[in-house]
Amino acid sequence: MKRVSGGAKTRAWAEIDLGALVRNSRAIRARAGGRRLIAVVKADAYGHGAVPVARALSADGCDAFAVISLDEALELRDAGIREPILILGELLAPDEAHEALVRELSPVVGRLETLDWLDRAAARVGRAAGFHLKLDTGMGRLGLAPEDLPAFLERLRASRALRLDGVMSHLAEADDLDAPTTERQRALFSQLVRRLREAGFAPDWVHLDNSAGIARGSAPGTDAVRPGIWLWGAEPLLAGEHRLEPVMSLFARVCHAKTVRAGTRIGYGGDFVARETTRILTLAIGYADGLPRAVGGKIDVGFRGRRVPLVGRVSCDLAAAAVPGSEPIDPGDEVLIFGRRGELAIPVEEVATAAGTISYEILARIGKRVPRIAT
């Protein structure tokens, strides 16, 4: 991640406030009652930059990190991150089990086949293979079915080379306070953890709650949490006011400004028609950069400390905004797409709602030609 200001030649850029990130992590830890923090930094930390994010959180005492794949985990190890790194997605082949063990990574296991791979890798390397067991309590994707737990534990007992370091599950509807699923999942998870302990296993990590689970109050009997979206300051619940500080602020330059008369059509399809003499700003950002095509004509952007409407269709490389008045506007002037600049804040949720999606997707899809700049 670059540590420079957005230069005049930068068409669009994202500023990443690492100070806000650290403050958010502290607030989340406090909300979680001091439980250990497993920061979920998959998908390049949801578009924020996994390595600089992990380094900032590591320096502040983050307990562990979680990613989706072996490649993502290796990126963090190669960058000098020494904390435990969980691989949330199932390993895909025996050689991945070997690599994970050699690099001291923590696979999340939800099937017997992966357990066999780890057992063979441990014999080959000559040391025990630690892992976290994932239980399927209601998500229905990855994870061991509750009825398969006895056979899994029997296989685990049969090996001296396998070590159960943690047990986890994943909440399916924690963001919806009206859904009964979360409490059912928590009850089942608690029951299965109790069965594990009665069988003689003592996992050091017990974790269930994601950002929404933490916001609604962490599950009893757990000692760690896995925040993702809340770290970036976005709202984790469907109906709530739990936003923290925005970590990413997305900006674009004005690449052209013109005054148009009433009746002038703007952009593909002429969806926007000026009702009066209007200043049109053409912005150097489009859907190739991660600004969804669907938000054209539906959101405000920030210009000189105030909101102005985005108008017309968002195209591959360009978008347009309408500004009242006749004030001088220069190519290169800055426009806030979402985030914060001074006193003006445009929550990423506004963009997500207009696009018919969630803030996770907006953040994670900011394109690679948009440089991330640490501030």
Among 2, 258, 268, 360, which one carries the catalytic annotation? 268
Residue 283 token pair: 């912005």
268 is catalytic: yes
Among 2, 42, 134, 258, which one carries the catalytic annotation? 42
The answer to whether 312 and 272 are in contact (CB under 8 A) is yes
Backbone phi, psi, residue 142, to 5°: -80, 160
Q: What contacts 368, CB < 8 A, 6 or more positions away?
A: none
360 is catalytic: no
**DSSP-based helix, strand, coil % in the chain, nearest 5:** 35, 25, 40
Residue type, 211: S
DSSP one-letter string for 236-301:
-SSS--------EEEEEEEEEEEEE-TT-EESGGG-EE-SSSEEEEEES--GGGT--GGGTTT-EE
State the sign of the Cα–Cα–Cα–Cα dihedral 71, 58, 338, 372: negative
Residue 373 token pair: 């700049």
Which residues are the active-site residues? 42, 268
